[in-house]
Amino acid sequence: MTYNHEKFLRTAVESFLMQETSFPIEIIIHDDASTDRTPKIVATYQAQHPDVFVSIRQPANLFAQGVRGVTARILLPQARGKYVALCEGDDYWTDPHKLQRQVDFLEANPEFSGSFHETQQLMFDGTPGRLFGEKAPSVMFAEDTFAALSPFHTSSLVFRRMPIEFPAWIGEIVSGDMALFSILTSFGPLKKLPGIMSVYRKHPEGVTSKASIIDTHHEKRIELMRHLNEFHGRKYDAQAQQVIQAHERAIAKAKAR
């Protein structure tokens, strides 16, 4: 997924192309009506690697229209591979063996629905931020996905392409990555592999830096927890309520200030 990522997109794409694998890959790029040079960059790569790239360009920006769940609604139906890896246009992978390692594990362990690893956050000024996935368990089950913060970063996930019936609310929430992680665990646990193999850029143009997202962060996370609680048949109600209450306290504290 990309939008106005001309500063970052080449780094992301090159990190995909550098992957050393025993299997072929396809690279699907969804451009949400970028207004900078992003479309030209995508077109150049597609011309150079026509058998690898699939590009989808929106005529109008879906995010501005309030459309969410693009990965579930648009990208996943386009995927043809046995496995799916995710990485947004301003993030990138750092290990050329990332895909091979994760796929090898899933091939050898069919009871797992996916795998992930740690991700280094990179701040806008070039300094390192927090390490995503550092505190995640080595094996993640559904109850572990009920958390105040995302347990790991989207750019680290590789999962089996399965006939997932996404709930209607997937297009209404903000934290679609956390929803996907939780939904995947209904098919099997997620495995954390050792090592830092991707980078998440934190910058002013990023989606999570938008005022509309920041201002409603806690309310949206409460909404997500309630949806996931219902999705899993309230089997993890205690975990869901604990997270909801933490967000409610944060809202009360903000209002007090």
Q: What residue numbers bound the domain in which 204 lies?
A: 9-256
Residue 212's pLDDT is 46
Asked if residues 132 and 146 have their Cβ atoms less than 8 Å apart, the reply is: no
Number of H helices, E strands in the chain: 9, 9
- The answer to whether residue 2 is domain-embedded is no
Q: What is the pLDDT of residue 69?
A: 85
43 domain-assigned: yes
3 part of a folded domain? no
Q: Which DSSP helix (H) or strand (E) runs through 134? A: none
pLDDT by 10-residue block (mean), the chain, 257 residues: 96 98 97 97 96 95 88 91 97 98 98 98 92 97 96 98 92 90 97 98 61 71 96 97 95 90
Among candidate residues 228, 84, 222, 244, the one with its CA nearest the CA of residue 169:
228
Supply the pLDDT for residue 208. Answer: 47
Q: Are the C-beta atoms of residues 200 and 91 closer than 8 Å to each other? A: yes
Residue 211 confidence (pLDDT): 46
Separation of alpha carbons 132 and 13, rounded Å:
21
To 10 degrees, what angle do helices 217-231 and 176-184 make? Answer: 20
Does the residue 41 lie in any domain? yes
CB hemisphere CA count around 10 (13 angstroms): 6
Within a domain: residue 4? no
**What DSSP designation does 201 have?**
E
Q: Is 249 within the bounds of a domain?
A: yes
Report the CATH number that the domain containing residue 86 is assigned in CATH.
3.90.550.10
Q: Is the dihedral of CA 99, 162, 77, 71 positive or negative?
A: negative
Smallest CA-to-CA distance from 156 within 110, 98, 203 is with 98
Residue (of 105, 120, 184, 185) closest to 152 by Cα position: 120
Q: What is the pLDDT of residue 257?
A: 84
Total number of domains constituting the chain: 1
- What pLDDT does 204 receive? 64
For strands 27-31 and 53-57, give the pairing: parallel
In a domain, 1, yes or no: no
Residue 79 belongs to a domain: yes
| Number of neighbouring beta carbons within 10 Å of residue 161 | 12
